[in-house]
Amino acid sequence: MTRFQDRVCVVTGGAMGIGEAAAGGLAAERGAVMILDLTFTQAAADRINSASGFAEGYACDVSDEAAVRDVFAQIKLHHGRVDVLVNNAGITGPQGPVETVSLADWRALMAVNLDGVFLCTREDIDRMITTGRGVIVNVCGLYGLVGSPDAAAYHASKEAVRLFTKATALQVTCHGVRVNSVHPGFIGTLVVEAFADASGQPDAALQALAARHPVGRLGRSEEVASVIAFLASDDAPFMTGAEVVMDGGYTAQ
């Protein structure tokens, strides 16, 4: 398939995990992919380029307003526009009871998970509106839909992105721009492995996480990437403001 031929795609947090899979999926369908991440952006771009795709890496902290502005200006200078924006960069942030969370850690989490989505969305949306061409996919999560006892800040950030998605969609859909959110269950990326390692019994922790999903396993980054590609493509013209849950049945219980 070549659903992203002649489309300029930005993937934040695209150097590893779900973001790298999303970048690879868009590039495999002929998208010109711009990877924004803190580090390792060139290595991720090189992997795509050696697989016959087209990717460029840009070092950018999505919580830094000036850095985001600068990087989007560079992309627009070289490629003219952004057609697909995947707001994927995110961190887990402080774990544990609310009373143990410092304001600094709370704000650091919100700066990446929430401010980052806002700052990147703001960069090219005016042109998307003017030309009636553009799609935004926000990688939110199961934890933007349901709570758990030990990650209040993360839940708050992801729930905020869920409604930011709907509000933005309502603003821009009449101009031909679509905005949706994706809500994966636990995906077997490094961040989940690190969480399991921290428990001291990684195998048992991963099994326990998998067991929370009725499908009986963790999700895969490529599975999230294929949903992102679907939403970003012309196969989903009637989807906007939607929260697409892909959680192995977790929230069906």
Ligand X SMILES: NC(=O)c1ccc[n+]([C@@H]2O[C@H](COP(=O)([O-])OP(=O)(O)OC[C@H]3O[C@@H](n4cnc5c(N)ncnc54)[C@H](O)[C@@H]3O)[C@@H](O)[C@H]2O)c1
* Stretch touching ligand X by CB under 6 A, among 93-101, 126-134, 180-188, 228-236: 180-188
> Does 33 interact with ligand X (rule: CB under 6 A)?
no
Q: Which residue of 29, 186, 228, 240 would you call a contact of ligand X, by CB under 6 A? A: 186
> Does 4 interact with ligand X (rule: CB under 6 A)?
no
> Does 152 interact with ligand X (rule: CB under 6 A)?
no
With a CB cutoff of 8 Å and minimum separation 6, the contacts of 145 are: 159, 162, 183, 243, 245, 251
9 pairs with which residues across the strands? 33, 84
Show which residues are catalytic: 154
> Does 134 interact with ligand X (rule: CB under 6 A)?
no
Task: Supply the DSSP string of 68-124, one letter for each residue.
Answer: HHHHHHHHHHHHS--SEEEE--------S-GGG--HHHHHHHHIIIIIHHHHHHHHH
> Does 18 interact with ligand X (rule: CB under 6 A)?
yes
Q: Which residue of 168, 189, 233, 240 would you call a contact of ligand X, by CB under 6 A? A: 189
Q: Measured between alpha carbons, how far is 176 from 170 in angstroms, rounded to an integer? A: 11
> Does 13 interact with ligand X (rule: CB under 6 A)?
yes
Measuring CA to CA, how many Å separate 108 from each of 25, 118, 123, 145, 163? 30, 15, 21, 21, 20
> Does 191 interact with ligand X (rule: CB under 6 A)?
yes
Strands of the sheet containing 54-59, edge to edge, are 54-59, 32-37, 8-12, 84-87, 134-139, 177-184, 243-246
Q: Measured between alpha carbons, how far is 61 from 89 in angstroms, rounded to an integer? A: 9
Which parts of 85-114 interact with ligand X (CB under 6 A)?
A: 88-91, 112
Q: Which residue of 8, 31, 63, 244 would you call a contact of ligand X, by CB under 6 A? A: 63
* Stretch touching ligand X by CB under 6 A, among 74-82, 118-126, 162-170, 183-191: 183-191
> Does 192 interact with ligand X (rule: CB under 6 A)?
yes
Q: Measured between alpha carbons, how far is 71 from 75 in angstroms, rounded to an integer? A: 6
Q: Which residue of 53, 57, 184, 248 would you call a contact of ligand X, by CB under 6 A? A: 184
* Stretch touching ligand X by CB under 6 A, among 16-24, 123-131, 198-206, 228-236: 16-24
The structure tokens listed for 164 are: 């930011």
Q: How many residues bind ligand X (CB under 6 A)?
A: 30
Interacting residues with ligand X (CB under 6 A): 12-13, 15-19, 36-38, 60-63, 88-91, 112, 116, 139, 141-142, 184, 186-187, 189-192
